[in-house]
Chains A and B, each alone.
Chain A
Amino acid sequence: MSADPLLSVRNLKKHYPITKGILKKEVGRVKAVDGISFDVAPGETLGLVGESGCGKSTAATSLLRLEEPTDGQILFDGDDIVEHGDADLKAFRRRAQMMFQDPSSSFDPRMSVGESVAEPLAIHGMRDRARRRRIVEDLLERVGLSAAAYDRYPHEFSGGQKQRIALARALVLNPDLVVADEPVSALDVSIQAEIISLMRDLQTEFGLSIVFISHDLGVVREVCDRVAVMYLGEIVEVADTETLFSDPKHPYTKALLSSIPTPDPSRRNEGVELSGDVPSPSNPPSGCRFHTRCPAVIQPEAFDLEQAEWRHVLDLRLRVERGVDASDIREFLVAEGEAPTPEEVPDAAVARELRREFDVPQTLSDPNAETVLSDAISALVEGEHDEARRTLNDSFSSVCERDHPELESTSAGTSAACLRVDTERRIDPPPTS
């Protein structure tokens, strides 16, 4: 990369306070975006992917300062826009624009689409109405509509056409950067292809940089040069598109990729199923945020279980931490016909049921682990919650919940935030990506 990046985000954070009472005391924070960093080069398309709720939309609005970031630096062409005053910010707006997700609500229903597209021109001082009109008519034609569309109203267009208009509005100020927030998610698959192709053509013609936000990996693969994967407010992997798809390093990326449906019948059922509950951004897990669901979570040194078993044991332990009541299991078993009353349900049956619920085998492959587990379960069955919890926590803890991994370069030339990657790091300095 010879040129300086156009956009350089460093440790961007956006937290929303949770308040209580009339005085709005802060009792917690929703950490929607909790420290992300990435670069975008001129003319490059960077993809930002993740599940719903991972913070990618918030990242988009924060990086354009449509919402005020809580912390971090956003360097656009060398200037930190977080520091900008109103005048500078307005000038910045001319150079960085956003394309919104929902074509139905991103246009004022009382303005004609031509007026909506022309509005940015008027805001930035172009008073000549006729001139605005000519420019917009020209632009509408270039995105594939007719100039006559100027006078029509949003309700007269289809979703795909409205996204073309949204694209026109994003371009009208001739920006250097366009942040597209799920631009094709609301469209039919056939229309998606058209819009994507249009975006690519326009990008080439005008040398745009694009930050392409999506949850649809298939689309991302078509459009982006590089991809950043987000999970719960953090970036867990950054890579060139092809490298990411062929050799993902982060377990979350692997899980995401495996969920893309493939038409190849021999490769079905290879999907990685994520277990456990999705955490909430107001209370993210300690250490590596993905540890509650990661299939590759690291075992303690003392044990040598099969990875899948370990994952299930960990699930069980985490659930017990939150509170499991043996009497619920007893009642369930009564309903299943094991015994007439909860008290008469044998302890062994309860233990069996508990294991079964978490897919933990009746006997673990590692005898040491098995001992600890059965002790803990016995304690739980007898109602000794605290003892059970302590036993489980002491023995079955993972380094993944203690240490927070940072983005490190991997052997594939990508960056990933995973403790396993850490241990694979080469001695000599990795190439910058």
Chain B
Amino acid sequence: MMAADTPSGSTTAAGSTDRFEDVDWDDLGGLGLPLRTGLLVAVSAIYALVVTTDVFLTEGSVLSGTDWLFVLTLLVGAFFVAWPLAENRRLTAYYWRRFKKNRAAVVSAIYLLVVFTVGTVGPWLIAKPELNVIAAYQPPVFVSVDSSVPSACAGAVADGMCHGTWKYPLGTTSEGKGIAKLVVFGMRVSMQVGLITMLIVISIGTVVGTSAAYFGDLVDEVLMRYVDIQQTFPTFFLFLIVTYLFKPSLFLLITIFGFLGWGGIARLVRSEALQRREEEYIRAAENAGASDGWIIRKHLMPNVSNTVITAATLLIPSFILFEATFAFLGLTDPATPSWGQVIASGRGDLDSAWWIATIPGVFLFCTVLAFNFVGDALRDALDPRSEGDA
């Protein structure tokens, strides 16, 4: 630090002064853009370039549309969630301490982290489940079933009962596909649906909500009326119609739910923005000479984001359930391995091969439950106003 109490101020080696009264406002000097913005711009450019090349300029894509969207989601998460958390470590620690109080949520968070990792990395490491009629109807390990059920038992047969093996730890389906593999691939599908849709919903919802709050009057009125209309549409049925008329795919599901489901978030963002605008620290920033853009970026957005993150996290379970439901009904792309699909395939064999319908459902249930616990705990940790009721 510098020498204290020197009335004329002291100077460091760089020639700048450390006392506020000695600042020469006409001669400041300074660096360029902060590090994060620079990186963000660079990465966005690279991403845009790669995607355009892959999707539009080359024959056959390396990654599907959904996968590219997933990459985008991960990048956005890294820049706008992980980076700020790492930067403001004290604040993150504070939020974590509050989150930790909810033990169910902590367990859920760990589970979700595992699912996320396995779902993202797994499908690269293991091969896609293949049709294998001989291996159909194998029971899971530690389970035994009457040996007439599988066409050929892969494990030991004793007392007319076929025993499960570690080769197919969770058993196989009627097509001989390993359920464990299907679970892993299903994890990716669920993760993609949940996270990508969340991204779309947050993006559109935030933009619309802040615009409505900021511009007010006619813009506000028009946007909110539109949101009213959009919210009345039951998305479920609209999607039914669309899948019936067009070719179903995961991409279509994600885009439709994303582009029709942001209304709630927009309303939330708008009301939060309107409330925060009246807070005194916004006045203080104006007083310091901040422009509107500065205030929105540095004060409104971060403070609104708490509520938005919570609301969005609680939306993810619905998206995952929707996808599973449509997969169950057979209305999605049959080539996409989804938990709902497996459950549907096992429905006819409930009396013999009950594990086919049961096991993927357990994972589905746990994942949705985990998101709900985490979302609830996030609300308690981030949103102080909810601290009135349990």
Residues of A within 8 A of B (CB): 61, 64, 66, 89-90, 93-94, 97-98, 100-102, 105-112, 116, 119-121, 123-129, 131, 134-139, 141, 147, 151-153, 169, 171-174, 206
Contact = CB atoms under 8 A, between A and B. Distances in A.
A160 B94 CA distance: 22
A126 B289 contact: no
Given A66-B283, A123-B289, A153-B90, 7 more contacts: A93-B288, A106-B284, A107-B284, A119-B290, A123-B285, A151-B90, A153-B94
A8 to B, nearest CB: 21
Contact of A66 (B16, B88, B286, B299): B286
B90 A134 contact: no
- Top 3 nearest A-B pairs (CB, nearest first) are A127-B30, A93-B289, A120-B288
A106 to B, nearest CB: 4
B288 A123 contact: yes
23 contacts: A93-B289, A100-B283, A105-B279, A106-B280, A106-B281, A107-B281, A112-B88, A123-B285, A123-B294, A125-B25, A127-B28, A128-B30, A131-B16, A135-B19, A138-B1, A138-B19, A141-B4, A147-B1, A152-B90, A153-B90, A174-B21, A174-B23, A206-B21
A397 to B, nearest CB: 43
A66 B18 CA distance: 29
Interface residues of B, number: 35
Contacts of B29: 128
A110 B283 contact: no
Contacts of A97: 287-288
Contacts of B19: 135, 138-139
B41 interface: no
B217 to A, nearest CB: 9
Contact of A109 (B12, B18, B285, B303): B303
Contacts of B25: 94, 124-125
Contacts of A105: 279-281
Contacts of B20: 135-136, 138-139, 171-174
B23 A125 contact: no
Interface string B17-44: 0111101010011110000000000000
Nearest to B289: A93
A42 to B, nearest CB: 15
B329 interface: no
Nearest to A89: B289
B2 interface: yes
Contacts of A152: 90
B23 A135 contact: yes
A110 B302 contact: yes
A128 B91 CA distance: 23
Given A110-B303, A112-B88, A138 B30 contact: no
A98 B287 contact: yes
Contacts of A137: 1
